[in-house]
Chains A and B, each alone.
Chain A
Amino acid sequence: MKRDGEPRIGVYICHCGTNIAGVVDVKAVAEFAKGLPGVALAKDMMYACSEATQREIINDIQQERLDRVVVAACSPKMHEPTFRAALERAGLNKYLFEMANIREQDSWVHKDGGQATEKAKDLVRMAVARARLLIPYKESEIPVGERALVVGGGIAGIQAALDLADSGYKVFLVEKEPFIGGHMAQLDKTFPTLDCSTCILAPKMAEVGRHPNITLLTNAEVEAVSGFVGNFKVKVRQRARFVTPECTACGECVPVCPVAVPDEFNMGLGLRKAIYKSLPQAVPAEYAIDIENCLNKPNLLVCEKCLQACSPKAINFEQPPEKELDLEVDTVIIAIGADPYDPSKSQDYGYGKYENVITTIDFERLISPTGPTLGKILRPSDLGKPKRIAFIQCVGSRISNPELEGNPYCSGICCMVSIKQALLIKEKLPEAEITIYYIDIRAKGKGFEEMYRRARLAGIRFIKGLPAEVLENSDKSLTLVGENILLGELYEHRHDLVILSVGLEARKESEKVQKLFGLARSSDGFFAEKHPKLEPVDTATTGIFLAGAAESPKDIRESSIQAKAAASRAARLMKEGKIRIEALSAEVREELCAGCGICESVCPFNAIHVDGTSHVTEAACQGCGVCAASCPVGAIEMHHFTDAQVLAQVEAALADRPKEKIIVFTCNWCSYAGADMAGTSRLEYDPRVRLIRLMCSGRLNPQFALRAFELGAAGVLITGCHPGECHYQSGNLRALSRYELLKRLLRSLGLQEERLALEWVSAAEGERFAQVVNAFAGRLERLGVLTKAKGEEPALTTAEAGRREG
């Protein structure tokens, strides 16, 4: 590859039918590109992404000895991979490609052809300036072995573990409780088929227990994680069970145990002993001792009743109370599930205050043959048979009022849970009057609508309109007052038992797990997938996948589907035995590095260690660039996002009439995608903005903004993911502190600090992106630093048209 002298850049401007050409004067832009330094040829094409055009580009690369390619078309999120592949087909390194987004960022958001054409020229000039400095990189390969870690032993973890183990991979399944099965083990029947939950789950659990490829670690939690795909090092802390595998599960120990505590598996509706089992079919089959409640302490025996009763001598109080295990795994599946919403957080329905108000998950234990009433439906206050039973839907769900407890989303499962439970009650108590108070019934799923119809025909009353509160009467019955919305009339109904249909929310432990594995969560608290549609089980971290309700509320079927998908995604990596890592890592220029260690302390991925000078573990580096922006001596270069490349874009954006320009730095994941969303939604915004994409807002070297001001930019807007949603954990918070610093600096330089702004925009917030940009432009105009752009002034375009003709 020719590295010296002027590069030979090919520039291709796409019409995208009329998507671009309908607004932008594409030919004028191509003409303009020809005059830019380093450009060997510039063309306009009807559809740059067509196979014919691809072949033309390949041909040009070979015939015209092009060594860089710029395509001005749609978002790189759309077609960058397409064009990179074309470069590779032509024998050119794929990192020598650059895209100018003149559709989502230009023709779709600006109506004024003159302004849009001017902006397209700027975007091409910026892309060409960056392309001149592009460097070819070789992607490294790292080996990936055949060991997987599955965190969480509910149905999703079980399904994923079994699929991987059956495919020949070694699986460590870590479960924090002493038994696996999760919430599914608590359920009586499942919708819509009314299969017995334990009957279909127990064989799966047993298989996990005996599978030669699965190491089941119960009573265990992940404590520390380091490394990366192919080389995760995981520290697991396991609490002692005090019962050895010699246990035959005969159960002789249980009746002699003197301690009885509320049974959490039965939602506290019954009692269990200190030596116990969740279910007769529990896995592992051995009993477990709850040492918190047992009279004995490790190595301090005051009660020997169970020891005496145990004929196989399987009880051992001398086990060390905890042990630490160091695992090495290649891939990870997060399947920690979700928590049911706790309605005692909001006082309105009297949960926790009135005995006969229970939740749907409580009711599962009440109706289960293995539950505290052995499956008899009894009301808690007097163990009488309830005659009038109410379900209240959407408890803790669909609440967008920030003053109230609850979650804004619909959990999607609660309607079917109530309908199922209502039908089960009808089977056991045919005379019971059952009313379901609802807002909307959501029955989307195979067989769901049919079940809803069955419930209506079975005489279950569906009343549209939620009660506002539950009132307890002196006989412990409950009165619900509300509006029957379809009648527009008030109801006042008495019920013996009120069942609150609660949704699911992110596990309490989610934050801990997020930090341990360096993952992202969305604003609802659930783990964020890499792409909501096309990469629904991947995370932004290669080698870590999501299964089940950890990602969003799910029923059993959806959890299984996702678990199996996650297993196959993990297997795909492990089967290949190696993985190519995108060449976006940091590189330390050792001759400049002073070994101060700041980079090591800011790296969210433990990818840098200091040993005299800093060293980057390329496979662990995710390429966010927080280290490079933090390095006081500029010793860290980010591959493909070098300081020089970004500065070249800043300079190109401000080459012409800088006082009319606003520089917007975006992160790759949220705000750039948010700008794309503004484009696809055709939301118009101020045409004076020029976007520069970084991988993370934390990459923003203060120098980038200062250079923009130095060149006369009206303003600089830094955008990134909302706090808590950063794809690199906390890069956006680094951006925030750097922003504060920059503002102080601007003040001391005598510049108006209002010319710098920082805003969070998520990938879905196209509308917000447009609003933020417009508000900032408005502010800059009021400050008098932003000059009015030339409007629909034919002057420039006509002049150029003239030149073209001439």
Chain B
Amino acid sequence: MRIAYYPGCSLKALAANFDRSARAAMGALGVELVELERWNCCGTVSSLTTDDLMRQLAPVRNLIRAQEAGERRLVTACAMCYNTLKRAALRVEAHPEELAKINAFLDEEPDYRGGVRVLHLLELLRDEVGFEAVAKRVVRPLEGLRVAPYYGCLLLRPRGVGLDDPENPSILEELVRALGAEPVDSPLKGQCCGSYHTVAHKEVVARRAHKILSEAASRGAEALISSCPLCSFNLDNRQRLIRELDGSFAPLPVLYFTELMALAFGLEEALSPEGHYVDPRPFLEERQLLRR
């Protein structure tokens, strides 16, 4: 299967390991991620005012790129891109008059005609590849590994945009089970990590991350998986600050779900130390899930 892929800016820079592992893991399942040509910023965060058509131009332009490529679907790995692109796609679908305005404004572009579906990799795994196929591809079952799925906000909310039940999601748990590991349920798995406050209010984010990580650890988690470069940064890199605030805090590795897949698929080269503050390799080597 070939599918149009929108990596987004972070996966091209700080979260290159997310991009690398996503391509490798999906490739192992026979899914080729074909990077969209001339993609631009997704818009990053959805604007929430009633008069913000301007803020929809960026995401709609990406939908136009997909349309040009003859694609009906566009898949993302980054939860934030997913949320922003999908909201814009749903919005112009529901409000043709707004789409008409946007098209008129984007006069240098062909008109967007609607109909491009924005998907997240996890949806593709659940609804098309199937977790059974994922389980079949596993060459190194992650037996005994206790992994806490972390959803954050943008995979789940608001309703209608999220890809699972916002109060009781299960898609990451299913993936963890398919890889042979054991999901650890934490009540904070859908709570915000602190998001962009990491820019100017590091300590607020550190307190959020501390709570989320400690809760998962107290329930026996040995690692945490995420689907968002910003969540991963806040939960991983902010551990430095957490340790300044709480000396007894024990580091907890944070992986992208695609890295966990790559590991179980035996694609060790996709799991590099770059992009991690807490290097997950020593711990995985200790658990004999990674060759030294």
Contacts and interface: CB of A to CB of B under 8 A. Distances in A.
B165 A347 contact: yes
Contacts of A353: 168
Contacts of A346: 167
Given A469-B187, A471-B187, A474-B219, A403 B168 contact: no
A472 B167 contact: no
B167 A347 contact: yes
Nearest to B190: A469
* Main DSSP-derived SS at the B contact region: loop
**Residue of B165, B168, B218 ringed by the most chain A CB atoms within 10 A:** B168
B136 interface: no
Interface in A218-277: none
A480 to B, nearest CB: 12
Interface string B207-224: 000000000001100000
A466 to B, nearest CB: 15
B197 interface: no
B167 A348 contact: yes
Interface string B144-163: 00000000000000011000
Interface string A450-477: 0000000000000000000101101000
A472 B187 contact: yes
Contacts of B168: 347, 353
A348 B219 CA distance: 20
Nearest to B165: A347
A317 to B, nearest CB: 44
Nearest to A346: B167
A617 B11 CA distance: 76
Contacts of A469: 167, 187
B187 A403 contact: no
Contacts of B187: 469, 471-472
B72 to A, nearest CB: 27
Nearest to B160: A403
B152 to A, nearest CB: 16
A353 B187 CA distance: 12
Interface in A425-471: 469, 471
A348 B166 CA distance: 9
Nearest to B219: A474
A461 B271 CA distance: 54
B167 to A, nearest CB: 4
A478 to B, nearest CB: 10
A474 B219 CA distance: 7
Contacts of B165: 347
Interface string B166-184: 0110000000000000000
Interface in A327-369: 346-348, 353
A346 B165 CA distance: 10
A353 B168 CA distance: 10
B218 A474 contact: yes
B41 to A, nearest CB: 30
A474 B187 CA distance: 11
A428 to B, nearest CB: 31
Interface string A468-498: 0101101000000000000000000000000
Nearest to A471: B187
A348 B218 CA distance: 22
Nearest to B158: A403
Contacts of A472: 187
B167 A403 contact: no
A347 B189 CA distance: 14
A347 B187 CA distance: 12
A403 to B, nearest CB: 5
B123 to A, nearest CB: 20
A471 B218 CA distance: 14
A401 to B, nearest CB: 10
A471 B191 CA distance: 12
Interface centre among B168, B187, B218, B219 (most CB of A within 10 A): B187
A347 B185 CA distance: 15
Interface string B195-236: 000000000000000000000001100000000000000000
A681 to B, nearest CB: 30
Contacts of B159: 403
A31 to B, nearest CB: 52
Contacts of B167: 346-348, 469
A658 to B, nearest CB: 34
A469 B219 CA distance: 18
Nearest to B220: A474
B186 to A, nearest CB: 9
Contacts of B218: 474
A472 B187 CA distance: 8
Nearest to A481: B187
A348 B168 CA distance: 8
Contacts of A348: 167
A252 B38 CA distance: 82
Contacts of A471: 187
Interface in A711-749: none
Interface string A380-407: 0000000000000000000000010000
B145 to A, nearest CB: 20
A353 B185 CA distance: 12
B173 to A, nearest CB: 13
A346 B160 CA distance: 16
Nearest to A405: B167
A473 to B, nearest CB: 9
A403 B157 CA distance: 12
B261 to A, nearest CB: 27
Contacts of A474: 218-219
B289 to A, nearest CB: 26
Nearest to B168: A347
A404 to B, nearest CB: 9
Contacts of B219: 474
Interface in A768-791: none
Nearest to B186: A471
A348 to B, nearest CB: 5
A474 B167 CA distance: 20
A550 B218 CA distance: 48
B207 to A, nearest CB: 14
B238 to A, nearest CB: 22
Interface in A99-153: none
B215 to A, nearest CB: 9
A471 B168 CA distance: 12
Nearest to A353: B168
B125 to A, nearest CB: 23
Nearest to B218: A474
B6 to A, nearest CB: 27
Nearest to B188: A471
A403 B158 CA distance: 10
A698 to B, nearest CB: 33
A347 B219 CA distance: 20
A782 B187 CA distance: 55
A469 B159 CA distance: 17
A633 B147 CA distance: 74
* A346, A347, A472: most-surrounded residue (chain B CB, <10 A): A347
A346 B168 CA distance: 9
A480 B167 CA distance: 15
A322 B280 CA distance: 66
Nearest to B215: A471
B149 to A, nearest CB: 16
A403 B187 CA distance: 22
A365 to B, nearest CB: 26
A343 to B, nearest CB: 12
B164 to A, nearest CB: 11
B244 to A, nearest CB: 24
- Among all A-B residue pairs, the 5 with the closest Cβ atoms: A347-B168, A347-B167, A471-B187, A403-B159, A348-B167
Interface of B: 159-160, 165, 167-168, 187, 218-219
Given A353-B168, A403-B159, A403-B160, 8 more contacts: A347-B165, A347-B167, A347-B168, A348-B167, A469-B167, A469-B187, A471-B187, A474-B219
9 contacts: A346-B167, A347-B167, A347-B168, A348-B167, A353-B168, A469-B167, A469-B187, A471-B187, A474-B218
